[in-house]
Structures are given as structure tokens and as C-alpha cells.
């Protein structure tokens, strides 16, 4: 698996960065500082999940889904996954399908933006 994002500054993204939303999570992607240094970060806030066990479970589910769909991730992007409250009430297969669909959406947005830059 990729390196994880640990610093607060690295979690910040711009509005123009590609993003995708699901009922279970939101993905924000931003250009990595170095092409080979793509990382992932997981966010489960105390405001959304009151109990630490729920926050930990949400991040564990996200890590599992990311591991399953890692081949869909672009190497030149850092990915930030933000958990939503519905994540605790979903099946593993449903979450993996939602993750695959969201990552494919990011790839399409990236390809569209890359075509405009040329």
C-alpha cells in the first residue's frame, strides 16, 4: 500500500482539484509533490463519529476498500478519503463497488483536465 499523509498541510486541497462523492465517503485528489510519492490520507471526524471505535472502524473500512481498488488510483495524485456517517451501515461489497466507481470518476476528471492543459 502507499504511504500515508500525516501532516495537516498535506490534507489541504484546492477547489479545482478533482473530487468524487459517494454516500459513504468523499475523495479529494491533488497533485503529488513528487511523481513517485503518491500518498493516501483517511479522515473520520469527531463531529461525524462521536465514538473513537466508530472513527477507527470507518478508517479501517476505507483502508480495506482502497486496498481492493488500488489499481485504479493514479500514481501522480495524493488521495484524501473523508468518511461519512453512512459508512458504518454498509456491506463490504457495496463499499468496494462505490470506491471503484468514485476512483474511476477521478480518473475521468483527471483525463479531462489534462486534455485542457495541453
Give pLDDT tens digits for 62-72: 999 999 998 88
- Total number of residues shown for the chain: 118
Q: Which one, of 2, 104, 5, lies nearest residue 82 by Cα?
A: 5
Domain count, the chain: 1
Mean pLDDT of 74-83: 88
User: Does 70 reside within a domain?
Assistant: yes
Distance of CA 58 to the CA centre of its chain: 12
User: Does 118 reside within a domain?
Assistant: no
Residue 78: which H helix or E strand, with range?
strand 77-83
User: Does 117 reside within a domain?
Assistant: no
User: Does 34 reside within a domain?
Assistant: yes
User: Does 39 reside within a domain?
Assistant: yes
Do residues 19 and 102 make contact, with C-beta atoms less than 8 angstroms apart? no
Q: What is the pTM of this model?
A: 0.85
Helix, strand, coil share (%) of the chain residues, nearest 5 = 45, 20, 35
User: Does 64 reside within a domain?
Assistant: yes
Range of the domain at 60: 3-112
User: Does 75 reside within a domain?
Assistant: yes
What pLDDT is stored for residue 26 in this prediction?
92
Start-to-end CA span in the chain (Å):
31
DSSP per-residue string spanning 3-18: EE--SHHHH---TTS-
**Residue pLDDT, tens place only, 81-104:** 999 999 999 999 999 999 999 999
What pLDDT is stored for residue 105 in this prediction?
92
| Domain CATH for 94 | 3.30.230.10
**Residue pLDDT, tens place only, 23-73:** 999 998 888 876 676 788 999 999 999 999 999 999 999 999 999 998 888
Amino acid at each position: 500500500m502507499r504511504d500515508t499523509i500525516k501532516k495537516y498541510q498535506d490534507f489541504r486541497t484546492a477547489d479545482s482539484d478533482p473530487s468524487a462523492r459517494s454516500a459513504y465517503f468523499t475523495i479529494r485528489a491533488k497533485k503529488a509533490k513528487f511523481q513517485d510519492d503518491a500518498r493516501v490520507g483517511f479522515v473520520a471526524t469527531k463531529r461525524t463519529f462521536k465514538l473513537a471505535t466508530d472513527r477507527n472502524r470507518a478508517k479501517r473500512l476505507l483502508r480495506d476498500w482502497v486496498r481492493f481498488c488500488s489499481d485504479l488510483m493514479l500514481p501522480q495524485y495524493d488521495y484524501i478519503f473523508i468518511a461519512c456517517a453512512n459508512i458504518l451501515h454498509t456491506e463490504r461489497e457495496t463499499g468496494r463497488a462505490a470506491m471503484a466507481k468514485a476512483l474511476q470518476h477521478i480518473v475521468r476528471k483527471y483525463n479531462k483536465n489534462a486534455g485542457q492543459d495541453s
